[in-house]
Amino acid sequence: MLMEYKVVIGCISLLVLSNVFMNIAWYGHLSKLADKPVYIAVIVSWLIALIEYMLMVPANRYAHDYFTIGQLKIMQEVITLTVFVPLSILMFGEKWNWDYLWAALCMVGAVFFAFRSKIFA
């Protein structure tokens, strides 16, 4: 049981960190490198994305013995939105949109169906 918690917490922690870098790599150039040529934005984004992958790949490998690939993907998407919404508002100045909440509620349903075998085991 303790090992399961370590797997879950370790996986989620790595995925959260990975997603911070992913969002910066994917969207940071829009505000921070807007005046630079696109090839500079691509190179900088790829270097940041390398850090993302250095966190994402171990997270998935570490957790694959416990989670199915489908469960890992659903977890990744939930974490992506959880990280993206605050970053988009705080770092990129986007305005809050209630559709984020409705999308999150849909994701709760996805999590339920993807993880119900673990929830009710």
Residue 59 is predicted with a pLDDT of 96
Phi, psi of 96 (to 5 degrees): -60, 140
Please give the average per-residue pLDDT across 89-115, as a whole number: 92
Measured CA angle at 51 (ends 16, 74), to 5 deg: 35
Q: What six digits make up the tokens of 55?
A: 């966190």
Residue 58 is predicted with a pLDDT of 96
Q: What are the DSSP calls for 21-45, one per residue?
A: HHHHHHHHHHHHSTTS-HHHHHHHH
Give residue-wise pLDDT tens across range 24-68.
999 989 988 999 999 999 999 999 999 999 999 999 999 998 899
pLDDT band at 73 (very low <50, low <70, confident <90, very high): very high
pLDDT band at 2 (very low <50, low <70, confident <90, very high): confident
Q: How is the chain split into domains, by residue range?
A: 2-119
Could you give the percent of the chain with pLDDT greater than 90? 76
* Torsion angle, alpha carbons of 34, 40, 43, 44, to 10: -50
pTM strictly above 0.95: no
